[in-house]
Structure 1
Amino acid sequence: MTATVFRKLSSVLILLWVAFGLVACGGFLPKSSDNRHNQPLSSSIQSGLRNMGSSPGEAMVIRIFKEEKVLEVWKRTTSGQFKMFKTYEICAFSGELGPKIKEGDRQSPEGFYTITPGLMNPRSNYYLAFNTGFPNKFDRAWGRTGSDLMVHGDCSSRGCYAMTDDGIAEIYALARETFKGGNPSFQLQIFPFRMTAAKLAQKASSPHIGFWRDIKEGYDLFELTKAPPAWDVCERQYIFNAAGGGALNPMGPCPAVVQNAALTAKQQADEIAFAAAVESEAQKAAREAAEAERQAAEEAAARARGEAIGGFFSGIGNMFGGGNAGQDPNVVPVMSGKPAPKPMPRLQR
């Protein structure tokens, strides 16, 4: 192999490696007899579901909270409402708080997604995985790009949510059994943090605050009803529980929504709390800025006093011939740190 051919081959391999790094967490292992995707639910998981009035085949919802690094699995119970079954620690996710914008930004997505059996990845490079479905209808309305954004095993992320192998094994099995129970999909809700008025006020200066307040309505509906809200997109924003049914034009006007008195009351209360919290955050920031300015002024004054005192005594020393006057400027006096010897009495002559 000539040096030129070797260099060309090396360049191709580097490009392939870079391309793989930019396509998030996709990839498949070769076909094998590995049956990891069919491992049964443990007896403790099955008994836990029974004890809460649910079963493996019942509907489920997954919620992810970035800042808290938590994934929640909710299952529908015999009451018809969903109840949280188990929480899993997220081992790693990519980027900052906020939605994914474009391919290669290594940002983990946020929003509402619908997971179908076709999005399950039984032969993932990361043990097991399911695709989030990014970009969804909302993401596409904003021209956002990205591919292979997964919830998977391992503890490494390039725009995905890594759950460790043990974690994804249980989550994958729960999803598989939900599909076997006749459910065509389950809802995946991804939030930057728990969507309280106080937390939103802390992030009020973020460029994503409008988006977060948009998806907060879906968060609130689930908190109130304990059932996944129907979501769609119109006017390039999420809409929940739209009246009339039918797919909406993501760029078109929004229809009326099914009114929920409890949601309206909560939204009004949260608006008041949000405004108060924003004012409180502003006052806190002003106090901190004033305190920092006061400390800086005190430190500057102390330095000025020290310099003035030093200059004063230096002037006195020079006036009386002190200091290093008349000495070689390269000679540095040595201080022993020992007390001076007591002078001897004068001799009588």
Structure 2
Amino acid sequence: MTATFFHRLGAFVIVLWLGVGLAACSNFVKGGDNRHNIPLSGGVVQGLRNMGSSPAEGMMVRIFKEESTLEVWKKTSGGTYRLFKTYEICAYSGDLGPKFKEGDRQSPEGFYTITPGLMNPRSSYYLAFNTGFPNKFDRVHGRTGSDLMVHGDCSSRGCYAMTDEGIAEIYALARETFRGGNTSFQLQIFPFRMTTANMAKHSTSPHMDFWKDIKEGHDYFELTKTPPVWDVCEKQYIFNPSSAGPLDAAGICPPSVQNAALTAKLQADEADLANKAASAQQAAERKAAEEAALKARGEAVNGFFSGIGTNIGGLFGGNPGQDPNLAPVISGKPASLPTPSTQRP
């Protein structure tokens, strides 16, 4: 038991402590209960049945940061997806925009694929599933981060935190989807609902190009109610590529399967966004002009009353530099003093 041993032990403890402190949402085992196997409630099963679905059917999850909502969509017997339930997000970290690097405490945005291996039944945050960050898009852009979860416990350091009750139900829905034979489900994370009004509101954001990129996938789902197939090429997302097999994330993009309705919507939204941006610019210019005019009027009024004060002060207090033969009058025009009479009485 030498001093060297204790130095090594101390270094190990420090490294372990730093690992715990820097992890976004750590996955240390907490207890040995069976919370991850709690069955879905009868109400949930009946609700799924009522919409033409079942626990075993496919699912998709959408997150909207600004609205603090998480949606679970389920595949129906007709092949399309319907919204099953919306959950309130308790907390998420950072601002609107994607995650860039480990430790920035920013919650990710984009498209992610959740597999059974990303489920965490023994999370120290009740239950959790990993978002899969960094995905193919994140990696080609050199973005880093780990343990970015959707979990319970209502606290976040780069994750999306739900209530324990909420994550328990979401976890069970995912578990039953996997038990039904589905190998994955899609997670879509957006800064806000991707309307042109919201895009225009944030038109000066440095993330606008990225948001326009993922908006295509958002709009495809809105139109078809089926999750798009996504991949990455030319360092951008591509949706429903025509080629089979994975793409080179930095390579040339192949054509994508065209959807006339989607193309028309994207073009219309781009024009609408340009009009809204122009209107917003005009409104900002009008506001600036009105503020400048108001400031000028205020300065003019102040100058007017300042001049009146000077004249009144001269009337009652005299002006040391004024000709003694001149008497001030209210009109402001100098009047000569009366000339003494030369006639004798």
TM-score between both structures, scaled by the size of structure 2: 0.84
- Aligned CA distance change for structure 1 residues 309 and 13 (closer, same or farther; 3 Å): farther
Aligned to 1:280: 279
Q: Deviations over 1:199-228 (max 9, x none)?
A: 212222111111000001100110111000
Work out whether residues 45 and 55 of structure 2, in 8 Å CA contact, stay in contact via their aligned partners in 1.
yes
String of CA shifts for 1:61-85, please: whole Å, max 9, x gaps. Answer: 0000011111100000010000000
CA 1:300–1:167 in 2, change beyond 3 Å: closer, same or farther? farther
Rate the CA distance shift 1:299–1:247 in 2: closer, same or farther, 3 A. Answer: same
Deviation at 1:283, TM superposition (A): 1.2
- 1:262 Cα deviation (Å)? 1.2
Matched pairs, number: 313
The within-5 A match list for 1:7-22 is 19-22=19-22
- SS of the counterpart of 1:133? coil
Counterpart residue identity of residue 179, structure 2:
K
Aligned to 2:98: 99
Do the aligned partners of residues 306 and 126 (structure 1) sit closer, same or farther apart at CA in structure 2, a change above 3 Å counting? farther
Determine helix, strand or coil for the equivalent of 2:129.
strand
Amino acid at match of 1:266: K
- Structure 1's 310 and 177: CA in aligned 2 closer, same or farther, altered over 3 A? farther
SS state at 1:211 partner: helix
Deviation at 1:316, TM superposition (A): 5.4
Q: Deviations over 1:47-74 (max 9, x none)?
A: 1101000001110000000111111000
**Other structure's SS at 2:253 match:** coil
Verify the 8 A CA contact 2:53 2:76 in the aligned structure 1: yes
Which residue identity lines up with residue 195 of structure 1 in the other structure?
A: M
Aligned pairs for 1:326-337 within 5 A: none
Match of 1:111 in 2: 110
Whether 2:239 is the aligned partner of 1:235: answer no
1:63–1:188: 8 Å Cα contact kept in structure 2?
yes
- Is 2:48 the partner of 1:36? no
Asked if the contact 1:62–1:189 (Cα under 8 Å) also holds between the matched residues in 2, the reply is: yes
The CA RMSD over aligned residues, in Å, is 2.4
Give distance in 2, aligned partners of 1:20 and 1:318: 79
Aligned-residue offset at 1:275: 1.5
C-alpha separation in 2, matches of 1:224 and 1:51: 23
After superposition, the Cα gap between the structure-2 partners of 1:315 and 1:42, relative to the gap in structure 1 and judged at 3 Å, is farther
Residue-by-residue CA offset, 1:285-320 (whole Å, 9 max, x unaligned): 112222222333334444444544555555556549
Distance change (3 Å), C-alpha of 1:303 and 1:93: farther
Give the aligned partner of residue 137 of structure 2: 138
| TM-score computed with the length of structure 1 as normaliser | 0.83
Residues 173, 299 of structure 1: alpha-carbon distance in 2 compared, 3 angstrom cutoff:
farther
**Tell me, what secondary structure is at the counterpart of 1:63?**
strand
Counterpart mapping for 1:216-231 below 5 A: 216-231=215-230
Q: Is 1:45 aligned to residue 44 of structure 2?
A: yes
Equivalent residue, structure 1, for 2:335: none
* Aligned mates of 1:145, 1:180 — CA distance in 2: 32
Is 1:153 aligned with 2:152?
yes
Match of 2:201 in 1: 202
Residue 77 of structure 1 is matched in structure 2 by 76
Contact 2:113 2:132 in 1 (8 A): yes
What secondary structure, in the 3-state scheme, does the structure 2 residue paired with 1:33 have? coil
- Cα distance in structure 2, aligned partners of 1:290 and 1:222: 43
- Tell me how far apart the structure 1 counterparts of residues 240 and 121 of structure 2 sit (CA, whole Å): 33
1-side partners of 2:119 and 2:284: how far apart? 46
Give 1:26's aligned residue.
Answer: 26
Alignment match, 2:341: none
Rg larger for: 2
Paired with 1:96 and 1:251, the residues of 2 have a C-alpha distance of: 27
CA distance in 2, matches of 1:33, 1:124: 11
Q: Per-residue displacement from partner, 1:222-277 (whole Å, max 9, x unpaired)?
A: 01110000000000000000012100000100001111111111122112212211
Unaligned runs of 5+ in 1: 1-8, 321-349
- Measure the CA separation in 2 of the matches of 1:94 and 1:302: 50
2:189 match: secondary structure:
strand
SS at match of 1:297: helix
> SS of 1:24's equivalent?
coil
Partner of 2:86: 87
Deviation at 1:126, TM superposition (A): 1.0
Residue 174 (structure 1) aligns with: 173
Deviation of the 1:16 alpha carbon: 5.8
* Distance in 2 separating the partners of 1:157 and 1:164: 11
**Structure 2: gaps (5+ residues):** 1-8, 320-345
1:317 and 1:126 mapped to 2: Cα distance? 81
- Among the aligned pairs, what percent are the same residue? 66
